[in-house]
Amino acid sequence: MIAESHTPRTFPSTSDNIHAARSGTLVAEATRRPVTLSFDFGGSNVKSAVLDHGGQTISAFIQEPVRYPFSPADMLDTIAGHALAHEVDFDRITIGMPGVIRGGKVVTTPHYICPAGPNTPASPLLADQWLGFDVRMAVEERFGSPAIVLNDAQIAAAGVTSGYGAELVLTLGTGLGCAFVYNGQLTPHLEVSHAPGPDGRIFDDYIGEAERLRIGDERWSEQVLSAIDALGQVYYWDRLYVGGGNSFKLTDSTRNELLSRSMPSAGSVTFLPYESGAVGGHKVWVMQQ
Condensed to tens digits (0 to 9), the pLDDT of residues 129-142 reads: 999 999 999 999 99
Structural domain of 108: 15-154
In this prediction, residue 266 carries a pLDDT of 52
**Per-residue confidence (pLDDT) for residue 151, from 0 to 100:** 97
Backbone phi and psi for residue 34, each to the nearest 5 degrees, phi listed first: -75, 150
Q: Which residue has the higher pLDDT, 24 or 20?
A: 24
The total number of structural domains in the chain stands at: 2
Same domain, 205 and 273: yes
Which distant-in-sequence residues (6+ apart) come within 8 Å of 239 by Cβ? 161, 162, 165, 166, 167, 168, 267, 268, 269, 270
How much is the CA Rg of the chain, to the nearest whole Å?
Answer: 19
Query: Which residue, among 79, 75, 90, 80, has the nearest Cα to 26 in the 3D structure?
Result: 90
Q: Do 136 and 248 belong to one domain? A: no
Query: Which of 4-8, 117-121, 168-172, 265-269 has the least mean pLDDT?
Result: 4-8
Same domain? For 165 and 141 the reply is no
Asked if residue 82 is part of any domain, the answer here is yes
Instruction: Report the predicted TM-score, pTM, of the whole model to 2 decimal places.
Output: 0.86
Domain boundary residue, one of 128, 154, 180:
154
Shared domain for 69 and 107, answered yes or no, is yes
